Amino acid sequence: MSSLWEYANPRKFIATSDRVLPWVAGLSLLTLTAGLVWGFWFTPEEARQGASVKIIFLHVPAALMAINAWLMMLVASLIWIVRRHHVSALAARAAAPVGAVMTVIALATGALWGQPIWGTWWVWDPRLTSFLILFLFYLGYIALWSAIEDDDTAADLTSVLCLVGSVFAVLSRYAVNFWNQGLHQPASLSLDREENVANVFYHPLLLSIAGFVLLFIALVLLRTQTEIRARRMRALLARERMG
Amino acid sequence: MIALLMRDLKLGVRAGGGFGLGLAFFLIVVTLVPFGVGPRPDLHASIAPGILWLGALLACLLSLDRIFALDWEDGSLDLLATAPLPMEALVSIKALAHWLTTGLPLVLVAPVLGILLNLSASGYLPLTLSLLLGTPALSVIGTFGAALTVGIKRGGLLLSLLVLPLYVPILIFGAEAARRGAEGLPYTTPLVMLAGITCGTIALLPFASASVLRVNLR
SS in 3 state form for A70-83?
HHHHHHHHHHHHHH
- Given a contact cutoff of 8 angstroms between Cβ atoms, the answer to whether B73 and B123 are in contact is no
A46: which strand partners?
Answer: A50
Closest chain A residue by Cα to residue B145: A161
Q: Which pLDDT does position B195 carry in this prediction?
A: 93
Interface ipTM: 0.86
Please judge whether B173 and A139 are an interchain contact, meaning their C-beta atoms are less than 8 angstroms apart: no
* Nearest Cα residue to B124 out of B112, B136, B116, B135: B112
| pLDDT > 90 in chain A, percent | 33
User: Is A153 touching B (CB cutoff 8 A)?
Assistant: yes
CATH architecture of A19-242: Up-down Bundle (1.20)
Please judge whether B173 and A153 are an interchain contact, meaning their C-beta atoms are less than 8 angstroms apart: no
Instruction: Please tell me which of the candidates B162, B173, B211 has its beta carbon nearest to residue A175.
Output: B173
* Res A95 pLDDT > 60: yes
Mean per-residue pLDDT over chain A, rounded:
83
Closest chain A residue by Cα to residue B209: A160
- Given a contact cutoff of 8 angstroms between Cβ atoms, the answer to whether B56 and B26 are in contact is yes
Rounded Cα gap, residues A117 and A104, in angstroms = 20
Q: Express each pLDDT in A134-181 by its tens digit.
A: 999 999 999 999 888 888 888 999 999 999 999 988 888 888 777 765
Rounded Cα gap, residues A39 and B189, in angstroms = 45
Q: Which pLDDT does position A185 carry in this prediction?
A: 39
Closest chain B residue by Cα to residue A174: B169
Residue B173 distance to chain A (closest CA, Å): 7
A103-112 burial, b for 16+ CB within 10 Å, e for fewer?
Answer: bebbbebbee
Which of A133, A142, A162, A172 to probe by mutation at the B interface, max B CB count within 10 Å?
Answer: A172
Q: Express each pLDDT in A35-81 by its tens digit.
A: 888 888 877 776 666 667 778 888 888 988 999 999 999 999 999 99
Q: Which pLDDT does position A1 carry in this prediction?
A: 44
User: What are the structural domain ranges in chain A?
Assistant: 19-242
Rounded Cα gap, residues A74 and A37, in angstroms = 33
Please judge whether A133 and B197 are an interchain contact, meaning their C-beta atoms are less than 8 angstroms apart: no
Q: Which pLDDT does position A234 carry in this prediction?
A: 87
Low-confidence ranges of chain B (pLDDT < 70): 12-19
Q: Which pLDDT does position A48 carry in this prediction?
A: 66
Which of A158, A164, A178 to probe by mutation at the B interface, max B CB count within 10 Å?
Answer: A164
Q: Express each pLDDT in A200-227 by its tens digit.
A: 677 888 888 899 999 999 999 999 999 8
| Distance in angstroms between the alpha carbons of the first and the last residue of chain B | 23
pTM of the model: 0.87
Q: In 3-state terms, what secondary structure has residue A46?
A: strand
Please judge whether B148 and A133 are an interchain contact, meaning their C-beta atoms are less than 8 angstroms apart: no
Instruction: Please tell me which of the candidates B144, B173, B216 has its beta carbon nearest to residue A164.
Output: B144
User: Is A146 touching B (CB cutoff 8 A)?
Assistant: no
* Nearest Cα residue to B58 out of B133, B116, B142, B120: B142
Closest chain B residue by Cα to residue A131: B165
